[in-house]
Structure 1
Amino acid sequence: MQIAVCGPRECGDVEAGWAWEVGRLLAEAGATVLCGGGGGVMAAVAAGASAAGGLVIGVRPDSDRGAVCAGLSAVVFTDMGEARNAILIASADAVIVVGGSWGTLSELALARRRGVPVISLGGWRVLDADGNPVGGTTLAADPAEAVALAVREAAT
């Protein structure tokens, strides 16, 4: 199972801590972790997963080998800018969103469009014009719940 973890390249300590723990728990669950391979949430999830001996694939928007975060097992250099988000999501059986940025919102939208389950941990909550939640995103209270939900969804 391959689970993508998406989040902003600039994040606070809380989001970084959540991402690290999500990475560790995904690795312990035997999931391959997919991420953008950069800073912030991406670096934290890669560090957590690699610390637990997990497999971590970074899907980069560029071809800059110097911009790659530590903790990746392999890197896919797309040189496609934000279009790489489609590749990242197309490769995922489930997505965990940690925090939020515009790039993260695009990944969430691509996942929902494709029918990939999305678990949000402190991330986007999408509402319709009447203020009602748009279905398809499950909210998690903490990293353990986010991973449990994503692993369950990825297995179905």
Structure 2
Amino acid sequence: MCGPRDCTGAERDAAREVGRLLAERGAVVLCGGYTGVMAAVTEGARSAGGLVVGVLSRADREGAAPGLSAAIATGMGEARNAVLVASADAVIVIGGSWGTLSELALAVRRGDVPVVQLGGWQVLDERGEQLPGVTRAADAEEAVRLAVA
């Protein structure tokens, strides 16, 4: 699960619902482990008894989202995005920020896992067409269904 630390209320609600739905399906939820979308997915997954692992950019656990089941303090800065995406069986992206865009790009480049986007930025080619590799979802339920299919 990828998304920005600064998010809208709608993005927060969607992330909470995605976390809950993933936990109900028995998925281990990986996220960046801080505020915003990451905290919301943590809250949603934990509310359903799920396991949530935060892959932190810092070398310590300062600022980590409350409720994480485990926090991995990488000290890698934004390079931790590659660790997060490489560890996932599917990637759901909610919202948009530069860090989130890098996670989306890394997931698509990986090429062997579903990449589902709910809201956020659209990456288009020079003709204004959506690039292959990302499936857009209308809501949290569809995002989870596409990711675990």
Does TM-score exceed 0.5, indicating one fold? yes
- Distance in 2, matches of 1:150 and 1:123, equals 17
Match of 1:87 in 2: 83
**Higher RCO structure (Cα 8 Å, ≥6 apart):** 1
Q: What does residue range 49-68 of structure 1 map to in structure 2 within 5 Å?
A: 49-68=45-64
- Distance in 2, matches of 1:30 and 1:124, equals 29
Point out the more displaced range, 65-74 or 49-58: 65-74
Following superposition, which runs of at least 4 residues in structure 1 exceed 3 angstroms of deviation? none
Match of 1:21 in 2: 17
Match of 1:118 in 2: 115
Q: Partner of 2:62: helix, strand, or coil?
A: helix
Match of 1:147 in 2: 144
Query: What percentage of aligned pairs have identical amino acids?
Result: 66
Q: CA deviation at 1:123?
A: 2.1
Q: Partner of 1:134: helix, strand, or coil?
A: coil
Q: CA deviation at 1:117?
A: 1.7
Match of 2:129 in 1: 132
Q: Does 1:101 align with 2:97?
A: yes
Q: Partner of 1:100: helix, strand, or coil?
A: coil
Structure 1, gaps ≥5 residues long: none
Deviations 1:136-155 (A, max 9, x none): 10010100000010011xxx
Structure 1 counterpart of 2:122, one-letter code: R
- Distance in 2, matches of 1:123 and 1:71, equals 25
Number of aligned positions between the proteins: 148
Structure 2, gaps ≥5 residues long: none
Q: 2:123·2:131 contact (CA, 8 Å) conserved in 1?
A: yes
CA RMSD of aligned residues (A): 0.8
Point out the more displaced range, 36-45 or 122-131: 122-131
Structure 1 counterpart of 2:54, one-letter code: G
**More strand per residue:** 1
- Distance in 1, matches of 2:47 and 2:121, equals 28
User: Normalising to structure 1: TM-score of the pair?
Assistant: 0.93
Structure 2 counterpart of 1:67, one-letter code: G
- Distance in 1, matches of 2:62 and 2:129, equals 43
